[in-house]
Structure 1
């Protein structure tokens, strides 16, 4: 049974205005330790989706992997028993919440590989506005290492091409595609990296402690520096949640992760692959 929490309504308003918000101390030490164990299992036994990226040989690596909750028991418990689904329901203002997938992110000490500016929803075969991620660190995160968010970018009218993290190049289009989604006539644009870096829009980032969580919309543009620490890891579990209006969609490239649960475009994203976890009373 999902652990219930009550969220300050001012934080919910901030999330809808800015697209990202820090929630302090929402996960107790038991949940932090459980997630830490799950991450360590994943680091030792990555799936076929796992990768270790380096800016150059000999430096610390940026590890990421996803869709392992069905075999890592600690992640399964986090999905179905922790406060995460209750949080997602309140921030998305959704009566029901299904689970999309988890994503483990670890920047080893001395990692110079950065996370490029991007927003997540373009990677996913998911349309809808009630969609969010919970970015939960299990290590202390200094402000300069924290993921950074472009405030208000979740309500920009443009969608952006997803990028390969290894090369920072746009995803290649499928043969015969022209950058326009065939099912929605949606045009995708390049992420405005230079404008973001020049300070055109406010950037949000925080110092985080284990037990804190950053809630952000799947269309909020974000990126992160490497990990300049010589001793500390930056281990994070980012879980993805879907609300009442989330439906399966098509994209003009191979989606990531490449899972659709056997659903057809337009069907609500609830199935065995995307289980319904929470229903508000």
Structure 2
């Protein structure tokens, strides 16, 4: 019995995810983090604080985020082939630090000892809104997906605390209740992320998910995480796991299998993430518990209907 599951969601076989999630999304994260196979680190590495001097004003950060980002040559082709791309200096170090401080304030009263998480902060805070709805980020996402119009699914403020363990292997097509593969997620760390802090890691190859598509999910234990790792290793799949410099942002497809390492440092790993999808996508016919409280993100929308609620605005690119 997984202690994070209710009687309803725990019922049935271990791979039965048909019940709707009946907790909040903080409880969902506690459950999902419990599915990682590796133990949390027992010793922590000191990492220095970032000293940037004077920081930009909020208005200056908003103006920066409104400016387009020049994609490096080959980025679109790399994303199409690999399922992800990590781009340098998408935001300035000063903008990242200002956002980090804002998220620290917004997460200050959020529960959770390993991973503190909140979504939909774009509805509460103008600086977060400027980042999540920014033409700079949306423009990159639209270019990588090669679509014209995107909507926001939700944002995610994620703080992995010192000593917190791995995030299990997964791909977002299993999570998001969207009947489309034109879905992309961003991962914007708000401090440098050395390997010891647990950067996001990606299984290379847009079609790599097919190699493990038949593995049964395990909603109770860690077998799915272990079997995915073994399947990728046995197939010789390359895993991209590299440090993130301050200002780097990754973009990954909903089909891209990814994980994140434990935070074996003495500092919190703060990240602002967001997910976008091509306008016109519908909610799947049968959302499952793996989608969490998805109606918080797409309210007043029934399964099978177009996902176009007021909480899913079109983002300017």
Q: Answer yes or no: same fold by TM over 0.5.
A: yes
On the 8 A contact 1:3/1:86 being kept in 2, the answer is no
Where does structure 1 lack aligned partners over 5 or more consecutive residues? 54-60, 171-189
2:205 aligned partner = 152
Of residues 132-141 and 71-80 in structure 1, the stretch that sits farther from structure 2 once superposed is 71-80
1:92-127: CA deviations, max 9, x gaps? Answer: 11101111111122222233x111111122111112
Matched, 1:142 2:194: yes
* Shift in Å, 1:68: 2.5
Q: Are the equivalent residues in 1 in contact too, given 2:285–2:304 (CA < 8 A)? A: no
Alignment of 1:7 with 2:66, yes or no, is no
**By how many angstroms is 1:197 displaced?**
4.8
Aligned to 2:172: 120
Instruction: Tell me the SS of whatever aligns to 2:77.
Output: helix
1:42 positional shift: 2.7
Q: Indicate conservation of the 8 Å contact 2:119/2:154, yes or no.
A: yes
Structure 1 counterpart SS, 2:185: strand
Q: Deviations over 1:200-256 (max 9, x none)?
A: 311012211121101101121111221111x22211111111124532213452322
Q: Does 1:37 align with 2:72?
A: no
Aligned partners of 2:159, 2:247: CA distance in 1, in Å? 17
Which residue of structure 2 aligns with residue 203 of structure 1? 239
SS of the residue corresponding to residue 132 of structure 1 reads strand
Structure 1 residues 162 and 97: CA distance shift in structure 2, 3 A: farther
Among 88, 97, 119, which residue is 2:150 paired with? 97
Q: CA RMSD in A?
A: 2.8
Q: Cα distance, 1:258 vs. partner? A: 2.1
Distance 1:192 1:105 in 2: 23
Distance 2:252 2:215 in 1: 17
Residue deviations 1:32-70, cap 9 Å, x none? Answer: 133213321232133xxxx525xxxxxxx2222222221
Number of residue pairs matched by the alignment: 247
SS in 1 for 2:123: coil
Q: Give distance in 1, aligned partners of 2:98 and 2:135.
A: 10
* Residues 1:192 and 1:242: Cα distance change in structure 2 (over 3 Å): same
1:233 matched to 2:268? The reply is yes
Question: Aligned equivalents of 2:139 and 2:132: distance in 1?
Answer: 10
TM-score by length of 1: 0.77
Name whichever structure is richer in helix by fraction. 2
Structure having the higher strand fraction is: 1
Structure 1 residues 162 and 278: CA distance shift in structure 2, 3 A: farther
Give deviations 1:136-180, integer Å, cap 9, x for gaps. 00111113521111111556443877776x95477xxxxxxxxxx
- Counterparts of 1:252 and 1:77, CA distance in 2: 30
Q: Which residue does the alignment assign to 1:58?
A: none
Quick one: which of 208, 215, 218 aligns to 2:251? Answer: 215
Tell me the TM-score normalised to structure 2 length: 0.69
